[in-house]
Amino acid sequence: MIMHVEKIVASLLIFGIALFSHAEVSAGELYTVRDIGEIMAGGTVEDVNNEGQIVGTIPISMTRNHGWWFDGKRVIDFGACGGVGCRIMGINAMAQLVGNIGRAAFIFVDGKFIDISLFANPPGMALAVNDASVIVGWYTLIPVVEGQMKAPSERHAFLYRGRKLTDLGTLGGKESVATAINNHGQVVGYSSTYQDETHAFVYMQDQMIDLGTLGGTESRANGINDRGQVVGVARVAGSNQEYAFLYSDGNMTNLGSLIDGEASMALDINQSGYIVGKSGSQGFLYRDGTMQDLRTMLTQGTKWESISPCCINNSNQIAGIGIARDGTQHIVLLSPAQ
């Protein structure tokens, strides 16, 4: 499936997005906020590249989504991408986009959607793409029929390069998902184990490596930078409580939370080691060994009730969803104050 996209909308009000742009700047603040536009409840921000371009998804119904891309100047609505529904999950430096149309993973290149299932037949989802156009995500293994019994389908992490899909396997269990890839080809995600637990992994040199947990039974990796530092969420010993972690130099460190005892998760990390995530209902930035509430890093008297970050680029720009004091949700891009 190859389709040309020509639709660049001047207004997405019909989908719950009102386009407008402005920067709120005040002396002494750490971050300025660019309001990309209002987005309907359930809309998501999924990724940002180093140019400050952002991608995400709008829910149209219980079963259908529309993908969108902010190219730095305007929002481009892809609608259902020519299919039954569309999600855009990742973007790289060349503004190549990946996601899924229906159950088919795709890459968007030079104005065209290219269905990678034409070459690899992986019903599933593409979640991330690096600057070498290597895609990762998950696909569904074709169920096996044994007599009259149909074995349940399984998800496996995949790496897609040059029209070839590589199944990354598992940590011994039935399922795995690849969530991110860096520019060295190192892949992170999570997988079930022989003990039927879920553990974070890094895949490198053709091997899936178990990153362990914070002493509990579960962990998931969400991001990796080009230094090989990994972030995610893991359970602690003797509890179902989950905390954000940083895995670096062979050690997994509990990053804690904004409020003692509150659950937290790390979502992304950039080349400087800046980490974004959520603690309770609030977004955080972790840097220099300190977790900071993003609300305290904005203009005093700002209209934002909360900022829920998704991702951070190497310019330390943070993309996410901002909740205004009037309850409306907005796509926002935070940039370091000059």
Q: Is pLDDT of 301 > 90?
A: no
Q: For the segment 233-271, what is each residue's pLDDT rounded down to a tens digit?
A: 999 998 889 999 999 999 999 999 999 989 999 999 999
CA distance to 161, 170, 240, per residue, from 104 (Å):
16, 22, 34
pLDDT of residue 224 exceeding 70, the answer is yes
Mean per-residue pLDDT for 141-161? 72
Residue 19's Cβ-side half-sphere holds a number of Cα atoms within 13 Å equal to 17
- For the cut 80, the answer to whether the pLDDT of residue 4 exceeds it is no
DSSP-derived pairing of the beta strands 290-293 and 282-287: antiparallel
DSSP-assigned states of every residue in 181-211: E-TT--EEEEEEETTS-EEEEEEETTEEEEE
Cα separation, 151 vs 154, in Å, equals 9
Q: pLDDT, tens digit, for every residue of 165-204?
A: 999 999 999 999 999 999 999 999 999 999 999 999 999 9
Average of per-residue pLDDT values in the chain: 87
Has residue 275 got a pLDDT over 60?
yes
pTM of the model: 0.89
| Residue pLDDT, tens place only, 102-119 | 888 999 999 999 988 766
Residue 188: per-residue pLDDT:
98
Grouping H, G, I as helix, E, B as strand and the rest as coil, residue 15 is helix
| Gap between the Cα atoms of 42 and 57, Å rounded | 9
> Which is higher by pLDDT, 76 or 150?
76
Q: How sure is the predictor about 47, in pLDDT bands with cuts at 50, 70 and 90?
A: very high
3-class DSSP state of 332: strand
Whether 6 shows a pLDDT value over 70: the answer reads no
Per-position DSSP letters for 131-158, written without gaps between them: TT--EEEEEEPPPPEETTEEPPP-EEEE
